[in-house]
Amino acid sequence: MVTNNILVGKVYNILLIISSAILTYHVLNLNLLKSKVQSIIFSLAIVLSPIVTNQFLTYYIDGTLYLLMVLFLDLTYLYINGHERSRGIIVISIFGTIVLACNTKFTGPLYMVILCLMELVRVAVKKDFLSLRKLFCLYLFSGLFGVLFIGYNPYITNIVRHGNVGWPIMGEKHMDIVNTQTNPEFAHKNRFLKFVIGYNSKSDGSKNYPTLKIPGSIYRSEINSLEMSPDIRIGGFGAWFNVILILDVICLIFLIAKRKLSRDNVIFIVGLLFSVFSNPECWWARYVPQTYLLSIMILIYLVSAIDDNKKKAIVDKIFLAVIVVNFLSANIKNPTCYLGYAYREYQHIQYLKKCYVASKAPLLVDYSNFYSKTASELELHHIPYIYFDSSKRKVPGNYRLIYEDASTHIFAKR
C-alpha cells in the first residue's frame, strides 16, 4: 500500500457513497422524479441506508456491497437509456462493479446473478434484443472474470480444497455464524416468518427472542442498540422501518388498484424481493441490505405516479418525515459516539507513547489470531514495538502489562 496505513482503506466507502449518490440522483431525475429537490432527497434516502451509515467507518462490508448493487442498477439504466458518448465508461464501470461485488462477500455473486437476470428480463420485455445480447455478454464476461480470475481465491481454491465454493460457511464441517448468535426458538422458523417478525420488533443486538412492537413506537433501548452498531440482529434498518414497510404495502395496493405500476416496475420489485428471500437469513438487515433499497423505491413509484402537485407535496412530506425519523433513530447518537471514540483513541495512544518514552525500550505486543488494530496504530505513530507470543515463552520479569483487550496485550519495560 502506498501509505502503509490500512485505515486509509475506509476512504473507499466514502467514495462509494458520493459516487452512488450522484448517479442515483441522475437516474431518478431522468426517469421517475422530475423535481431536482425530490431527486436529491430520495437519492440520499437510498444511499444513506442505516447499514451504510453504521458501517462506512468500519471494515464491515455489507454497506459496501449495498452501494455496489445500487451503482450496478444505476449504470445499467444509463447503459440501456442512451448516453452514447459515455457508453465506453459505463461498460467499464459495470464490469468493475460486478467484479468488485463478486469479491466483496460470498453473497455477492448470488445477488449479482439475480440482479443481472432481472435487468435482462427488463430489457427483453422492451424487445431491445441488441442491448439484451450486449448486456448478456457483458454480465457473463464480468461475472466469470470476477469469480474465476479475480476471485480464484477463495472460490476456486475452496472447490479444490474443500469441495464447496462457500467454505467455511457452507458444506461439510462449516462454521455456523448465524444460529450461534440467534435465539434458538427464532432461528428454526421459516425465512418469511422471521422476516416479518424481525422487522416488526424492537431493534436489538442480543440473542433474546424478538419483542414485537406497535408500529411507530420508539424505545430508548432501540436507540442504544442502534448506536454505532454495524451488526445489529433484530430491526437493523431502524426503529421506524416497520412504518416504512406498512407504507410500502399501502403504496403497492394503491398502485396495483390504479394500474400505475409499469411492467418495468413490477420486474424490479419482484427481482429485488427474490434477491432478498434467496438468503435464508433475510431478517438480519446487514445480510440483505437491498431490502432498504426496495422499500424506498416503492415509495418513489407512488410519488412518481401522483399527477396532482398538491397531493404529491403532501405525500412527499409524509414519506420524508418517516424516512428522517427512521434515519435519526439509527444514527442520532453516532456523531457524539464517534467523537468520544476518537478522543479515547487519542488518549490511548498518548498513554502508550508515554510508557515507551519512560521505559526507553520497544513495547512488547502480544496479539492472538489476527494482526491487531493497536499494532497498526503503534506503527502509524512511530512507537517501536516487538511482536511477542506469550503462548510460546514467558513475558520477561522486567516488563509490566500496560494494556489489554480481547485480543491484545501490551507490555512495557519497568
Same domain, 365 and 385: yes
What pLDDT sits at residue 317? 94
What pLDDT sits at residue 1? 47
Same domain, 129 and 239: no
**140-166, pLDDT tens digit by residue?**
999 999 999 999 989 999 888 888 887
Same domain, 107 and 210: no
Dihedral sign for Cα 273, 276, 280, 282, please: negative
Same domain, 159 and 202: no
Reference 167, options 178, 154, 181; nearest CA is 154
Query: Averaged in consecutive runs of 10 residues, what is the pLDDT profile of the chain (414 residues)?
Result: 60 93 95 91 96 88 97 95 82 97 95 98 93 96 96 90 79 73 88 96 90 94 81 92 97 95 95 96 95 98 92 93 94 75 84 90 76 72 84 83 82 89
Task: Report d(CA 247, CA 319) in Å as an integer.
Answer: 8
Measured in whole angstroms, how far is the alpha carbon of residue 118 from the centre of its chain? 21
What pLDDT sits at residue 372? 58
Domain that residue 318 falls in: 176-332
Q: Which of 283, 305, 332 is the last residue of a domain?
A: 332
Same domain, 107 and 219: no
Same domain, 64 and 116: yes
C-alpha to C-alpha distances, 291 to 49, 150, 242, 244, 401, nearest whole angstrom: 10, 28, 12, 11, 47
Same domain, 69 and 211: no
* Element at 340 (helix H, strand E): helix 334-359
What pLDDT sits at residue 105? 93
Q: How many domains does the chain have?
A: 3
**318-346, pLDDT tens digit by residue?**
999 999 999 999 888 777 777 777 788 88
Same domain, 306 and 353: no
Q: Which of 174, 189, 204 is the last residue of a domain?
A: 174
Same domain, 271 and 388: no
Q: Is 6 helix (H, G, I), strand (E, B) or coil?
A: helix
Same domain, 163 and 184: no
Same domain, 120 and 170: yes
Task: Report d(CA 47, CA 63) in Å as an integer.
Answer: 9
DSSP code for 209: P
Q: Which of 332, 362, 383 is the last residue of a domain?
A: 332
Same domain, 353 and 401: yes
pTM of the full structure: 0.87
